[in-house]
Structure 1
Amino acid sequence: MAPWVKTGGLADVSAALPKALVRLGHRVTVILPRYAPIPFPPGEFAGSVHVPVDGVARSAGFYRRTTEAGVEVVFVEHPPFFDRPVIYGDYEDNRLRFAFLSRAALEYSRSRGERPSVFHAHDWQTGLVPVYLKAFYGDDPTLHRLPSVFTIHNVAYRGQFPLDTLGRLGLPWNLGTSQGLEYHGTVSYLKGGTLFAEMLNTVSPTYALEIQRPEHGLGFEEVVRSRGADLVGILNGVDYDEWDPRHDRHIARPYSAKDLSGKRECRADLLRAFGLPEAPGLPVVGVTSRLVWQKGFDIVAAAWWDFLHRPLRMVVLGTGDHSVQEGLRHLQRRDPTRFSVRFAYDEALAHKVMAGSDIFLMPSRSEPCGLTQMYALRYGTVPLVRSTGGLVDTVDPWDAGTGRGTGFRFDNADGTGLVWALDKALRAYRDRAAWAKLMRNGMARDFSWERSAREYVALYRRAIGRT
């Protein structure tokens, strides 16, 4: 949960969604481990319980604090499981670590003696929450028949462990069948959350459809289809307190849809940050991403010749696969006056990329939702994306004839499709009036968390109605 610990988009979601729910008048508690990067103590001591895992009653300490936005945050303290150099990591005992977290979250609620309206669990790491509610708390005075909602952020990560995991967690063996948690000879925590929660969602309407088909379901599509009637897609929102060029503290000069003049200064500042000279008339293509196969940047690296021979400049910020990084580094070596790469993650520099670029490149093979294309829209940086997942739901193709649309999309995950869309964007860029219209179209889109939060409230009410 940002700002305490972050490895991906879930940290932003778990910070922004609760804040938006509080604004709508709801009381929200977020429970997460006290990972090593989080200073101790992270809040006031709020008690402890013993959590049975693997035949051992392990102590879970709870530390509570309330954010400025009014969100209660509870940190679960258990150093043997969570005081490690890597937050997730491929640890042998991950099945115990996150089973402990799921059970500790429920025990915290039980120890307070206050019945929540609903439990909302995210991804395989908390996929056992709905399972535990039904297996262990059916007669509990606080938690009996408590509804749960389970969010699948990425179906590729399933939390698969040996079948003996059930016994080590004290779960009944009848859950080790195809109607339970068994998945291709393993126990899958993702399957547990998918089958046992009252309602499910994923993070965009298109991805909710995609994961019910083999290409994106990746073998899990039958499990998802079995709950298709209970699955909805809700776009993640954007925290405009953090991402808005009108008041972004990281950028050279604020600007807005009414006055775009500040973007020129932001472009110059970005070029200086990446060591590139000014080149009036050449658009800047920006990238902030993990540079991996799923994100499609091997396609960009393979198309280096096409990029080299297009009238553009390009800045890349991110880390990822060695082969992809080498391909992008090759592009920089061929023309260091137009191409610059920075293999790191820098939050302040990411804001500069968003504000100073003209085109934002996102050629993902799979993108459950995506946040950066929505950031780009607010900054008047035109997205060029592949048609998948949340990119379909957030980027409308530009139509020069009608003046409608917010960006450019391509279908085929290959260099031909990418370069076709790039050329289309470069042609549009030459018409300055049309480009300004395109920018303002994107800046007018509303992807606020309040809109998404209202959809989650409706989902919670559906879950409550199931119990």
Structure 2
Amino acid sequence: MKILFIASEVAPFSKTGGLGDVAGALPAALAALGHDVKVVTPRYADVKDPRLTPTGHSVRLRFPFGEQGGPILAVRQAERHEVLFLENERFFGRPGIYGDAFGEFGDNHQRYAYLSMGALQAAQRLQFIPDIVHLNDWQTGLAAVALRRGFQHTPLSRARCVMTIHNLAYQGQFGKDIMGELGLPWDLFTAHDGVEFYDTVNFLKAGLTFADAITTVSPTYAREIQTPELGCNLDGLLRRHQGRLVGIVNGIDAHEWDPATDTLLPARYSPGDMSGKAVCKRELLRRMGLPDDEAPVLGIVSRLAWQKGVDLLMDVLPTALQADLRFVAVGSGEGHYEEGLRALRARFPKQVGVHIGFDRGLSHLVEAGADFFVMPSRYEPCGLNQMYSLRYGTVPIVRATGGLVDTVEGGLDGNGILFEAFHPAALLAAIRRGLALYADPPRLEAFRRRGMERDFSWAVSARRYETLFFTLRKE
């Protein structure tokens, strides 16, 4: 198949979260299966890859707010995998992806309308007529509308459209005055299944309404977003379209995240020889300024945000630390959570280590050196760290939500520890179950091995997307 993949961020060129990882890895995995994949994304100011090559083609779009255009550049990642960059100084030649220190950019509706429609025009310019157009999150939602309206009499109209929700909480809502600004016909606003959402324009709703299939990043999250609790006011629409909604768990980069080959670790290890994990634990404790002893180590690497349940963890830790254990944290985010972690370290200087900020090497070291990895998320569409933890023989302690419950197996013969209620008593009980497991080395070893033997590679997830795409082509 020919697959056009559109995303607002693509690792390693641009990234703010999991979307960038998916947009970097899934197209590569699909190309490895023999499909021709072109990824279209903005060329942000920070994208300065020396492999960037002009294609000799450009995009030119007419909007009521003015004509916009720019060249199409390319980086070939593999024989069948190419990333195309839309260059536009006005929209993308600034620091930041979605915003800066002052907040979201005020012209994001224009910027991502340009991406959505420009990506389809770029495919035309390069004579790449896709079988599948794969859209990702609200930034690309208008491409589904354009495919069925503006491009309906072109060869692109035969493409089937898939919209993937990476996090339903982010929807791209704007005032209805942008209808005229972007040249969108008003019947799209007044139609029952259109772009209107509580008297605003909702880019994600547009994508969900006009796509042929909807995916999200885990089966459990696909069910959760059809409920009022996690549906973010789109649950009714998703229930109406549940017949074309499917959850597919994200994969992980099995080359970067492999304890047997990870050059960021002081020692490598595998299920057959776990001795290197103890070396990683000693180095982690040294880096965090904590005593090197036999106490169990709990770790997190996280965006410090409300969604991640950081407040629940900080409520529980003062009690949990009365036991003989260590806690290490790497992350950044909301200021009050950062200050809370610093205060916890000051209160328990011989038990708590904190690094505020991103550190790739330290993130790998936490995954390898910790005994347990804690993810008490309020909701978690997929999650990656629990899969990294399992691969590194670090037992995850996670809340039973979204992708966490789809990848971590609880119970006596599981590979991790699950808790249900978002409540301090439930998390504290889960940590205590972890300490009991640590006190039983043969059982702990079995948990570690079962986790390390799971296959979370992108090859598995890509096969599921491939099956969906083939099904759509036959309809």
TM beyond 0.5: yes
How far did residue 273 of structure 1 move? 1.4
Structure 1 68/464 Cα, relative in aligned 2: closer, same or farther at 3 Å? closer
Shift of 1:464: 2.4
Report whether the alignment pairs 1:455 with 2:467: no
Shift of 1:68: 4.6
Percent identity between the two aligned chains = 45
Q: Does 1:148 align with 2:161?
A: yes
CA contact (8 A) 1:212 1:224 kept: yes
The Cα of 1:164 is off from its aligned counterpart by 2.2
Task: Select which of 313, 326, 345 maps to 1:313.
Answer: 326
Q: Given the alignment, which residue of 20, 27, 40 partners 1:31?
A: 40
Aligned-pair distance for 1:179? 1.9
TM-score by length of 2: 0.95
What is the Cα deviation at residue 40 of structure 1? 6.8
Partner residue of 1:435 out of 432, 444, 448:
444
Contact 1:294–1:365 (8 Å) recurs in 2: yes
Contact 1:398–1:438 (CA under 8 A) maintained in structure 2: no
In the other structure, the counterpart of 1:180 is: 194
Report how far residue 414 of structure 1 moved: 1.7
- 1:132 Cα deviation after fit: 0.4
Other-structure match for 1:59:
69
Give the letter aligned to residue 52 of structure 1: R
Root-mean-square deviation (CA, aligned residues, Å) is 1.3
CA contact (8 A) 1:308 1:331 kept: no
Return 5+ residue gaps in structure 1 as ranges. Answer: none
Aligned to 1:287: 300
Question: Deviations along 1:313-353, whole A, 9 cap, x unmatched?
Answer: 01100012222222222221112111011110111111111
Moved over 4 A (4+): none
CA contact (8 A) 1:48 1:61 kept: yes
CA deviation string 1:277-304 (max 9, x = no partner): 2012x11111000111110010111223
The residue number in structure 2 matching 1:379 is 392
Match of 2:88 in 1: 78
CA deviations 1:345-392 (Å, max 9, x no partner) are 111111111111110010000100001100000000000000100001
- State how far apart, in whole Å, the 1-side matches of 2:196 and 2:391 are: 44
User: Could you tell me which amino acid in structure 1 is paired with residue 88 of structure 2?
Assistant: H
TM-score normalized by structure 1?
Answer: 0.96
* In the alignment, structure 1 residue 298 sits paired with structure 2 residue 311: yes
Matched position secondary structure for 1:133: helix
C-alpha distance in structure 2 between counterparts of 1:253 and 1:465, whole Å = 50
Please state if 1:214 is matched with 2:228. yes
SS at match of 1:67: strand
Structure-1 residue corresponding to 2:4: none
| Distance in structure 1 (CA, Å) of the matches to 2:300 and 2:321 | 16
Alignment of 1:213-362 (within 5 A): 213-280=227-294, 282-362=295-375
Query: C-alpha displacement at 1:310, in angstroms?
Result: 2.1
Please say if residues 35 and 80 of structure 2, whose CA atoms lie closer than 8 Å, have aligned partners that are also in contact.
Answer: no
Looking at structure 1, the residues matched to 49 and 259 of structure 2 have their Cα atoms a distance apart, in angstroms, of 35
Q: Unaligned 5+ residue runs, structure 2?
A: 1-9
Distance change >3 Å, CA 114–CA 292, structure 1 → 2: closer
**Equivalences for 1:351-430 in 2 at 5 Å?**
351-399=364-412, 404-430=413-439
Q: Is the 8 A contact 2:39 2:82 kept in 1?
A: yes
